[in-house]
Structure 1
């Protein structure tokens, strides 16, 4: 997309939000609320009890117990990740670039606009499931759900449920933590489900090994292999992944390659690789219909892993922050809440500092 079109989209975005904010009083008649710029909310009264056949079942009780453990793992993981990334930038590193960094997701800036629909779909599903688990655990622990709704933050969709404040505050520590932890655990579980799919899905649907580049004077270059060609088979055996190609190169110095040329024709050639090196940059040959599916899978993992770690970390407004506060209040009384606030405020400053370092915004 050319620069002028990107500028037009950005301008349209700001104009649309400006109009929504100016019309916020009128929007209230339709149940819509724009409390601050770039935040649109629809809130309404929802059912007090959510799916009792599920939330009151024995199986769900086990889920809640596991959720507490998973939420604490997410909290610890989020804290460790933040400080690990800072150490990567502060401690002298043998390579020029740190191994890990934090980059905010900004469509058109840090990710391409073509990725945005898949990102938004994955985010909407992930947040909705997160909030549903909060509601189920509220019912499971005898806490009524007061309100629920959907929201739009910039271009990012979301959802929320609000337990009855009086009922929640009067509940035991165990019940509070279960309600809060249920959402974090769901994101961690979804990340665990989609992670192996991101690894194995390409090889399952790949129809060959796509040549992305050829090194000059390499064996592939001398055999007239070009970018866009596809290796379909080696020595008569179907090849679907770079890993399989590597295995053949490791075992033999002479192979017969069946190649689908970029012009659509197919030929078989014999290539000698005395040093077991073909000299190509390769990837999976994934049909276009499956590329969209894989993109969705990738974003489901990325979104849920990010939510699990950073919503699990104690960063003032996060679920992890709420759990951290409740635990310190129980351990230290009224002082626990103050200590929690100070610690979380410090951690969120460190978090922001980490993002700035990761994106080279501090020189």
Structure 2
């Protein structure tokens, strides 16, 4: 709880200082509102034209267009599924899907915050770059670009030239919008094997055997081995899997163990194991830097999958909303399409908020 109070104090102090000096920050192209800061600058008109106008990138755009609409359907379907499940779920059951807001210290550990912020920054930056690439691909100039901070969450944006965008064809507009949506799906697929699959293969990542507990009066206890120590070598053999540990213990009655302690130092102990049992509870040892990498990729997947699905849903403020509007304008005409799109997006937004409310109500 003390960490939460400290985090809130730092958060409020930071924004108070930023707001007090907002006038002085204007000369650096910074616009400050309560808990919101925006930096906007004139951007290059065309982004990497050799790449964005290549055949390969235009194939991506052609694939991204239908995928964008499929993700829109997936977003709406997910929201409706959450509502149905939450209304029909029995008390004390665990829902398969729930919409939980990210609130450091409450819904997630504060220790996860750096990984989340980095994942958001990378994801949003690449998302906006692909909007800019598709604008260039479709001969629409980019007017401005910038970054923002909303509370603690970073963001980025590019602004196509409004006249160029409005004069472009509906297909061009849809491609520009869909390119950003679908690249988040691509990033999610790239991050997936590094996030959820690799942790289930600890033997491939293990660099030793971590001791989690010691049995009283066991050979390990008598040899002053402690929880937190890592078995690195036994009789000169590097041990990284449980099968190697069992094999070596059953092979010898006396083992010479090299241990790595929590402070990083190494020591050697000789242990008699007449029953071939060390008397320890163990798991795989994965170094901190590997855990950090896997944690980042886990959040990279979560952030990008969420963006791909919910940013594609037509919720007024999303790319899916823009996609939906351009589609209805093409089908129903400029005026009617935009008006109907606004009403439908307002309805979907209310449904989305209702799904979040249901996901966070007590079930017991």
Contact 1:229/1:260 (CA < 8 Å) preserved in 2? no
Residues 22-31 or 183-192, more deviating: 22-31
**Matched residue SS, 2:311:** helix
1:6 CA displacement: 2.7
Map 1:1-363 → 2, pairs under 5 A: 3=2, 5-34=3-32, 36-93=33-90, 96-202=93-199, 203=202, 204-207=204-207, 240=241, 284-333=284-333, 334-360=335-361
Q: Deviations over 1:284-323 (max 9, x none)?
A: 4311121111111111111111111111111111001100
Contact 2:91/2:363 (CA < 8 Å) preserved in 1? no
Cα RMSD, aligned residues only: 3.6
Q: Deviations over 1:117-157 (max 9, x none)?
A: 11111111111111100001000000000000111111111
Q: Deviations over 1:49-80 (max 9, x none)?
A: 11111011111100111111221222122111
Aligned equivalents of 1:231 and 1:91: distance in 2? 49
Gapped regions of structure 1 (runs ≥ 5): 215-224, 250-254, 272-279
**Matched residue SS, 1:162:** strand
1:93 CA displacement: 4.0
Aligned equivalents of 2:210 and 2:80: distance in 1? 39
Q: Are the structure 2 counterparts of residues 231 and 43 from structure 1 closer, same or farther at C-alpha, using a change threshold of 3 Å?
A: same
Q: Deviations over 1:151-171 (max 9, x none)?
A: 111111111100001110111
Residues 85-94 or 320-329, more deviating: 85-94
Residues 108-117 or 149-158, more deviating: 108-117
1:336 CA displacement: 2.1
Contact 1:41/1:152 (CA < 8 Å) preserved in 2? yes
Q: TM-score, normalised by structure 2?
A: 0.80
Residues 350-359 or 46-55, more deviating: 350-359
The number of residues matched between the two structures is 341
Q: TM-score, normalised by structure 1?
A: 0.81
Aligned equivalents of 2:179 and 2:26: distance in 1? 32
Q: Are the structure 2 counterparts of residues 18 and 66 from structure 1 closer, same or farther at C-alpha, using a change threshold of 3 Å?
A: same
Q: Are the structure 2 counterparts of residues 240 and 307 from structure 1 closer, same or farther at C-alpha, using a change threshold of 3 Å?
A: farther
Q: Are the structure 2 counterparts of residues 206 and 336 from structure 1 closer, same or farther at C-alpha, using a change threshold of 3 Å?
A: same
Residues 90-99 or 338-347, more deviating: 90-99
**Matched residue SS, 1:97:** coil
Aligned equivalents of 1:74 and 1:284: distance in 2? 38
Gapped regions of structure 2 (runs ≥ 5): 215-224, 262-266
